[in-house]
């Protein structure tokens, strides 16, 4: 499951994944993109607290644990991005009044962390056997000072770039499910990035499926 | 999320097995599970696998002002994070009793034993010292979290390198890893905790309990020791009374285990150092197995086969005679069918049968209905033959039992294989109205 992409237009770091690593969670997966590594665990459908229950759908909770210290606002915003993507792809109405919990533990951050979270989340949900209408995958790209687009940037490349964008793309129709951007860029650059993503996403799907 | 409660039969089985000196995974009383120590990409990141229990520790450092009472010493901070990943019972942000207990034990084990030289962490006395922070994340809970956490913490501390610092007069420069090689911490000794679980009020002892064993144990004794046979911390919880000899014996066992674990730890550190020197990539990604099946795979477990044939013959001889197998499906009476193995169904039949064991499956709805009415009284003896006969139940003080007339055969035929209770109930209601 490891692949090195040699093409000049879309370069992804070596990515790898392992499922069913942990015995307690219903589904677990670890995803690494180069040096960036994330461990994900999914529990569900399980009992939900009355205060959080929804009468016709399952309640999805995403928890992101940083390596050092307690979760802060940054983790909360990443949790929201992942949760919205998962809610869009999971068939939540099949398990009303239940809870689905997804826990993501950061192992090492070397750039493209949000896309790594998304990929690990998808693999963990699959491993747990939760019903989904589509799979999704995340790719990050950065626009550096020259206007060049770099996919799957490392931490150093992210720091030097003027914009960083992460997109979550579904597997069936290759459409954008979630986008999270930081920095300044033009509309034209955004559209270019999405086209790039579609390329890189097809590479990811060809390897993970 | 709540954890699934332990059933009574599981508990009884575990306790009985422990009485016979058998453990679930086939270990001996003093055996540890397979331990694996791996390191992450950056210094100070360590993973410990103790059987299926998985723990990650990360050490980080920061320059801060020292404590007023100790201006010359650095600060150590420990935190064990009970991640919800490890067990459905762990909740985010909730300071549970277990979390407090583990944190306190780790602090006593590492801080109070003074295993790290805190004076070497001082940069400018009274102004700047290093604060070393150890975060231990529990990733999978399969028992004995304390041991795994202590091994991970001390290994991570041994693995960690802090940045080099230069002082020129009042100026303090922190060099990045590229400028100057980072320096390891000065560690005097490596305390490692060993846990003993006690069962049946201290009669039976097990080392390194797994999660199931932890649930049925009476008490836990934790001894933290280093390889020089010095006890760093000892704690007994659960309210069991232990004799002096028991505690002494445990400490002897602990010293043996600690020396083994320390050896493994040192070997892992040496291997990692060698790998980094050779310039190879190290990290979590590299320790992932490649081209090997890892999911949904069980290791071979050895099964005890001594006198298996004799004991099998013994058991077979003592067992009751096999129940008479009835070919299925059986149609004793039109409208009544029986599928599956088991004894002949006898309820509500007009022909008399001797046995009254429950049938495995029953096709007819009103058979179930009559079963429901019958269940309210004691059921023993022979079934009546013919309609309207009263069955005498010997020790029942209730009124006479009346067998409801079995329904008409053609009606019965309508109740097909999916015998729903509703149908039966409806049929009985109709009959009652009559």
Cross-chain Cβ contact B88/A43 below 8 Å: yes
Quick one: pLDDT at residue B291?
Answer: 66
| Chain A residue whose CA is closest to B141 | A24
Residue B59's pLDDT band (cuts 50, 70, 90): very high
How is residue B388 written in tokens? 């309207």
Cross-chain Cβ contact B285/A25 below 8 Å: no
| Chain B residue whose CA is closest to A22 | B140
Q: Which of B56, B284, B295 sits opposite A19 (nearest CB)?
A: B295
Cross-chain Cβ contact A30/B56 below 8 Å: no
Chain A hits for B289, Cβ within 8 Å = 18
For residues B92, B93, B94, B98, the Cα torsion angle rounded to the nearest 10 degrees is: 80
pLDDT digits (tens, 9 = 90+) for B36-46: 999 988 899 99
Residue B141: which of B85, B220, B219 has the closest Cα? B85
Give the three-class secondary structure for A137.
strand
Chain B hits for A39, Cβ within 8 Å = 85, 139
Q: Strand order in A99-108's β-sheet?
A: A15-19, A27-33, A36-46, A99-108, A59-65
Cross-chain Cβ contact B140/A37 below 8 Å: no
Output the DSSP codes for A7-61. -SSS----EEEEE---SSSSEEEEEEETTEEEEEEEEEEE---GGG--SSSPEEE
- Which one has a higher pLDDT value, A67 or A44? A67
Domains and CATH numbers, chain B: 20-190+257-287 (3.30.230.70), 381-434 (no CATH)
Q: Which of B142, B284, B285 sits opposite A23 (nearest CB)?
A: B142
Quick one: pLDDT at residue A15?
Answer: 87
Q: Which of B81, B88, B284 sits opposite A65 (nearest CB)?
A: B81
Q: Are B401 and B377 in contact (CB under 8 A)?
A: yes
DSSP state of A178: E
pLDDT digits (tens, 9 = 90+) for A80-128: 999 999 999 999 999 999 999 999 999 999 989 999 999 999 999 999 9
How large is the ipTM? Answer: 0.88
Interface A-B: count of C-beta contacts within 8 A: 100
Distance (Å) from the alpha carbon of B68 to chain A's nearest alpha carbon? 24
pLDDT at residue B287 tops 50: yes
Lowest mean pLDDT among B11-25, B262-276, B286-300, B397-411: B397-411
Residue B94: which of A40, A63, A108, A25 has the closest Cα? A63
Chain A interface disruption, residue of B3, B85, B93, most A CBs within 10 A:
B85
Chain B interface disruption, residue of A67, A95, A109, most B CBs within 10 A:
A67
């Amino acid at each position: 499951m490891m692949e090195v992409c040699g093409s000049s237009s879309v370069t992804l770091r070596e990515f790898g994944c392992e499922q069913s690593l942990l015995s307690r969670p219903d589904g677990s997966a670890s995803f690494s993109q180069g040096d960036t590594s994330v461990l994900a665990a999914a529990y569900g459908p399980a009992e939900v607290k009355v205060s959080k229950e929804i009468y016709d759908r399952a309640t999805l909770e995403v928890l992101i644990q940083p390596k050092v210290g307690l979760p802060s606002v940054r983790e909360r915003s990443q949790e929201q991005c992942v949760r919205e993507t998962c809610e869009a792809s999971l068939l939540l109405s099949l398990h009303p009044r239940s809870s689905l919990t997804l826990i993501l533990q950061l192992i090492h951050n070397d750039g493209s962390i949000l896309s790594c979270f998304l990929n690990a989340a998808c693999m963990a949900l699959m491993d747990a056997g939760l019903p989904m209408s589509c799979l999704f995958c995340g790719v990050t790209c950065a626009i550096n000072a020259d206007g060049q687009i770099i996919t799957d940037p490392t931490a150093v490349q992210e720091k030097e770039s003027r914009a960083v964008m992460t997109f979550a793309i579904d597997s069936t129709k290759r459409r954008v499910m979630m986008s999270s951007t930081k920095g300044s860029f033009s509309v034209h650059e955004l559209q270019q990035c999405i086209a790039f993503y579609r390329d890189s996403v097809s590479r990811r799907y060809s390897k993970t499926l | 999320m709540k954890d699934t409660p332990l059933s009574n039969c599981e508990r009884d089985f575990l306790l009985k097995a422990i009485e016979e000196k058998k453990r679930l995974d086939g270990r001996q009383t003093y055996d540890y599970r397979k331990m694996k120590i791996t390191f992450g990409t950056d210094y100070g990141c360590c993973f410990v696998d103790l059987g299926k229990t998985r723990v990650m520790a990360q050490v980080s450092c920061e320059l801060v002002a020292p404590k007023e009472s100790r201006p010359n010493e650095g600060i150590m901070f420990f935190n064990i994070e009970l991640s919800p990943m490890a067990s459905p019972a762990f909740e985010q942000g909730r300071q549970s009793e277990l979390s407090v207990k583990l944190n306190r034990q780790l602090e006593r084990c590492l801080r109070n034993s003074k295993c790290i030289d805190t004076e070497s962490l001082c940069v400018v006395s009274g102004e700047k010292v290093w604060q070393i922070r150890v975060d231990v994340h529990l990733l999978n809970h399969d028992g004995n979290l304390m041991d795994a956490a202590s091994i991970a913490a001390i290994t991570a501390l041994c693995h960690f390198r802090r940045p080099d610092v230069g002082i020129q007069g009042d100026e303090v420069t922190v060099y990045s890893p590229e400028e100057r090689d980072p320096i390891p911490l000065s560690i005097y000794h490596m305390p490692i905790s060993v846990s003993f679980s006690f069962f049946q009020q201290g009669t039976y002892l097990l080392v390194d309990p797994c999660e199931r064993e932890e649930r049925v144990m009476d008490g836990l004794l934790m001894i933290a020791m280093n390889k020089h046979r010095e006890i760093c911390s000892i704690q007994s919880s659960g309210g069991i009374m232990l004799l002096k000899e028991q505690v002494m014996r445990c400490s002897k066992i602990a010293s043996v285990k600690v020396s083994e674990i320390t050896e493994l730890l040192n070997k892992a550190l040496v291997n990692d150092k060698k790998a980094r020197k050779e310039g190879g990539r190290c990290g979590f990604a590299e320790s992932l197995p490649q081209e090997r099946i890892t999911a949904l795979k069980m290791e071979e477990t050895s099964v005890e086969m001594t006198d298996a044939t004799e004991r099998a013959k013994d058991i077979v001889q003592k067992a009751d005679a096999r129940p008479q197998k009835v070919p299925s499906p059986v149609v004793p009476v039109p409208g009544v069918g029986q599928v599956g193995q088991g004894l002949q169904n006898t309820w509500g039949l007009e022909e008399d049968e001797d046995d009254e064991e429950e049938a495995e499956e029953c096709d007819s709805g009103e058979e179930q209905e009559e079963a429901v009415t019958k269940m309210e009284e004691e059921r023993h003896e022979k079934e009546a033959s013919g309609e309207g006969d009263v069955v005498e139940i010997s020790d029942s003080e209730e009124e006479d039992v009346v067998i409801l007339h079995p329904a008409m055969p053609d009606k019965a035929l309508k109740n097909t294989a999916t015998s729903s209770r509703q149908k039966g109930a409806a049929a009985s209601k109709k009959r009652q109205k009559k």
